[in-house]
Amino acid sequence: MIKKLFLCFLFLFICLNIFSKQSKKNVVRIDIIGKNTNRSYFIKFSDENNLNSFEVYDEDN
């Protein structure tokens, strides 16, 4: 029982790591440093070949 539970957690951990690396593949972080504030924006491109379509996310999202 413990072995099955351990394998299940290990599988979930590996899946989460693979998913997070794939989702961050086309993301660029831009930091804008002002006099009193710092802002970070994330730009996510649809794919590596088509840089015309993208989405911009705030650091808070």
Split into its structural domains, the chain has a count of 1
* Per-block mean pLDDT, blocks of 10 residues, the chain (61 long): 75 59 67 77 74 73 51
Order the strands of the 38-45 sheet from edge to edge.
27-33, 38-45, 54-58
Q: Which residues contact 51 (CB under 8 A, 6 or more apart)?
A: 45
The pTM of the full predicted model, rounded to 2 decimals, is 0.45
Residues of the domain holding 25? 2-58
